[in-house]
Structures are given as structure tokens and as C-alpha cells.
């Protein structure tokens, strides 16, 4: 059985992330989507909220599990008894960044392999930072995230800033 981990911040989960998850679920027998706790990143949503948003959209994918981790990804891979990381690539600059990460992970554990999946063209420009920014300024992101995620974003910004995003 081939098991992979798709790690990320997912703040929030986007249609691009969901595209990679669906495609990864076809490639691997088990795919663990793991929300990372990164002390160097300030997030809008809690780990619990991010996991809920992902779970809501992968229910139909029987071989997809949602989890969270902190610390070194290579240590988490050992805990999950796999050596495969799934990563989505949108652009050439993504590839450069992900290539460096893949080589670093392999240097930390020579058994680790990273599998890159190109995101579908319609999601190639998406990232969570731009989505958060657009909503904070009152924009609609309905074509980039599921409706419930957009609703959560608007609620979060309304609560934080009293804005009617």
C-alpha cells in the first residue's frame, strides 16, 4: 500500500488544494492531508478550524484522512509509517521553492520522496494569502474557495475588524 502525506498550512483550504487532494487520492492508496502548526506563521484560522474545513470537502474520498502535525515533517512521516510527501506545484517559482524543500527533507532522511502534482490551470494563480487579502478588502472569492470557506472568511474578518466583507 502506498501512503502519502500532503502537508500544508491550508489557511484557508482553496479549490487548488482540493484539486491536489482529489488527484492525490487517485494516485495513493491512503492520503493524509496534514495541517501544519508552524510557529513562524501567523494564521487566520485555528488548526481545528482548518481541519474542519478540509474534512467537510473530502468526506466522499474514502482513502483521505485529515490530521495535523508540528515539528519536523520527516519525523511526522515516520510516525505515519510512510516516506512519501505530496506537493502541489502552481508555478516555476513554486517548483524552485518545493525543490529546495524536497532536497532538504531528503538530506534529513534519505528515504523521503516528494511527488509533485501540477495544479489544474484554473488554480495556478491561487494562494491562501491572496484569498485572505481579497476577502479582507470586501472582495468575492467564490470562484476560488468553496462557499462555506468564503462564508467563514467573511465571518472571521467581520469579527476581527467589524467589516461587512
The CA distance from 154 to 148, in Å, is 10
* 164 vs 148: CA distance, rounded Å: 16
Q: Would you call 34 helix, strand, or coil by DSSP?
A: strand
Which residues are catalytically annotated?
Answer: 17, 41, 90, 128
Cβ–Cβ < 8 Å for 32, 85: no
Looking only at the bridges linking them, the beta strands covering 30-37 and 3-8 are parallel
Nearest to 123 by CA among 138, 139, 141, 137: 141
Distance CA(52)–CA(60), nearest Å, equals: 14
Amino acid at each position: 500500500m502506498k501512503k502519502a502525506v500532503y502537508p500544508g498550512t491550508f489557511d484557508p483550504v482553496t479549490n487548488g488544494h482540493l484539486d491536489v487532494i482529489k488527484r492525490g487520492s487517485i494516485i495513493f492508496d491512503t492520503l493524509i492531508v496534514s495541517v501544519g502548526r508552524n510557529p513562524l506563521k501567523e494564521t487566520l484560522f485555528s488548526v481545528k478550524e482548518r481541519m474542519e474545513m478540509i474534512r467537510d470537502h473530502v468526506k466522499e474520498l474514502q482513502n483521505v484522512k485529515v490530521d495535523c502535525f508540528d515539528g519536523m515533517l520527516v519525523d511526522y512521516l515516520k510516525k505515519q509509517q510512510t516516506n512519501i510527501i505530496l506537493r502541489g506545484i502552481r508555478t516555476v517559482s513554486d517548483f524552485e521553492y518545493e525543490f529546495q524543500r524536497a532536497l532538504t527533507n531528503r538530506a534529513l532522511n534519505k528515504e523521503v520522496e516528494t511527488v509533485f502534482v501540477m495544479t489544474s490551470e484554473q488554480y495556478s494563480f491561487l494562494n491562501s494569502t491572496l484569498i485572505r487579502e481579497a476577502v479582507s478588502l470586501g472582495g468575492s472569492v467564490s470562484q476560488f474557495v468553496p462557499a462555506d470557506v468564503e462564508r467563514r472568511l467573511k465571518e472571521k474578518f467581520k469579527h476581527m475588524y467589524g467589516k461587512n466583507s
